[in-house]
Amino acid sequence: MALVLATALVLLGITRPTVAQASATSNGVTLSINYGDQQYGGDIVVEPGLEYTATIQYRIEEAAGQTVTITAPDGVTLPSEVPAANDAIESITHGDDNTYTIVFKEDPPSNDQGGLNFTFTFDDPGEESIVEEVTWRLDDEATSEDVIIKNPGDEFFGGLDNSFTKSVGGHTLDNLVSYDQDTGQVSVDPTITEVAIPYTLTFTSDQDRKVTITDTLSDLLAFNQGSFSATLTTWDENGLNKTTTTIDPPTPTLDGQTFTLTDFELEQDSILTISYTAHIKDADAVAAIQNSLQQQADAADPASGVDLRVELTNEASIGDDPVTTTTGVGTHRPGDPQPDTGVGFGKSSTLDSEQVKELETDLEVTSSP
């Protein structure tokens, strides 16, 4: 863990306290460390790249003529360039041992109190989030806090329930189904049986448990037996460092459209996913899909467009707790073109504007007395 302090100190008045604050006092001078308000499990959480603030406050009557030294925690880098002193401070120097030494004037202004602060950031802790004791010192007085330095992208454990879901991913079945408006025929490409339909079972567990899992596909589908894979998501003992790893998939018992995992063990505080793919079962299934879509097209109102669809519904369960997932295959039947009834009753003329004017003139001459 390394902390990098910003290169500028800013003169200021009294700073307001925050949720995560530590402090130490010596010779009328108080050092306060503001870590922000982010916490996890009661511990302070800091993130690399964000700015945090250390504040020096002093009571001038007590601090006058005093010298105090701020020592940063291990891994902290104090900037070697220090700011100019102010009306109450004679000098601020940077020491090789990662310190600031502040010398107060013997006869400062008559203000009751004053202060200055500096900001610092935490560096990336490495490949994982860590819990670190961070200790600042003001002379011989120390202030320490256990701080979680969060690795960017880490997701802390937020609690789980014993839940179970099934989902289906995207596929290209519809690309292989078409409707010919001229013939009124639906066609399903026989290669539709080669399209993989992805499914995922997700198990979240807040305790060790043993379950029996049953997953049944639609009668029109079949499992791709070599497609099973699994991932396991866990956290460390502090609830940090979420890790998702690929694990050896379980070996289910397959029976037609159903697979079963008996007495399958689920780990406490974990998320397990089991993924696999299925496909349209065979030529008979292709024919059944085409026939159903054709019946829908034939029954549709010719004047209106309609979506043609065959639903593929699957059910999975843990004991008596079933969940269903539905996808489908189909196409769109557009409405038949309708005649433009306004065209047959319209009137038109082939006369141009000059001919119309001449005709109007002739009519006027004819009608003169």
Cβ(111)–Cβ(51) below 8 Å: no
Q: What is the CATH number of domain 163-333?
A: 2.60.40
Cβ(148)–Cβ(130) below 8 Å: yes
Pairwise CA distance, residues 333 & 183, whole Å: 12
Query: Which DSSP string corresponds to 48-72?
Result: BT-EEEEEEEEEHHHHTT-EEEEEP
Instruction: For 269, list phi and psi in degrees, rounded to 5.
Output: 50, 55
What pLDDT score does 217 carry? 96
Here the tokens at position 190 are: 């026989």
Pairwise CA distance, residues 15 & 33, whole Å: 11
Q: What is the largest CA-CA distance in the chain?
A: 128
What pLDDT score does 366 carry? 46
Query: Which of 335, 333, 311, 315 lies closest to 324, judged by CA?
Result: 315
Q: Per-residue confidence at 341, pLDDT binned at 50, 70, 90?
A: low
Task: Compute the C-alpha angle 122/125/126, nearest 5°.
Answer: 145
Q: Per-residue confidence at 18, pLDDT binned at 50, 70, 90?
A: very low
Q: Over the stretch 268-319, which tens digit does the pLDDT of each residue have?
A: 999 999 999 999 999 999 999 999 999 999 999 888 889 999 999 999 998 7
Q: What residues contact 84, with CB distance under 8 A and at least 6 apart?
A: none
Query: Which of 25, 32, 29, 38 lies closest to 64, judged by CA?
Result: 29
Cβ(69)–Cβ(101) below 8 Å: yes
- For residue 31, the tally of other CB atoms under 10 A from its CB is 23
Cβ(47)–Cβ(122) below 8 Å: yes
Q: Over the stretch 170-183, which tens digit does the pLDDT of each residue have?
A: 999 999 999 999 99
Mean pLDDT, rounded, for 249-268? 91
What pLDDT score does 311 carry? 97
Coil, strand or helix at 290: helix
Mean pLDDT, rounded, for 11-26? 47
**Dihedral, CA atoms, 8, 72, 103, 89, nearest 10 degrees?**
30
Of 60-74, 82-96, 224-238, the range with the lowest mean pLDDT is 82-96
Indicate the burial class of 58 (C-beta count within 10 angstroms; 0-12, 13-18, 19 or more): buried
Average predicted confidence (pLDDT) for the chain? 84
Span(s) in the chain for CATH 2.60.40:
3-149, 163-333
Q: What is the CATH number of domain 3-149?
A: 2.60.40
Whole-model pTM: value is 0.75
Q: Over the stretch 111-148, which tens digit does the pLDDT of each residue have?
A: 778 888 777 788 888 889 999 999 999 999 998 889 99
Of 72-76, 142-146, 233-237, 283-287, the range with the lowest mean pLDDT is 72-76
Mean pLDDT, rounded, for 25-29? 81
What pLDDT score does 355 carry? 55
What pLDDT score does 313 carry? 95
From residue 165, give the alpha-carbon distance in Å to each of 29, 201, 270: 58, 6, 14
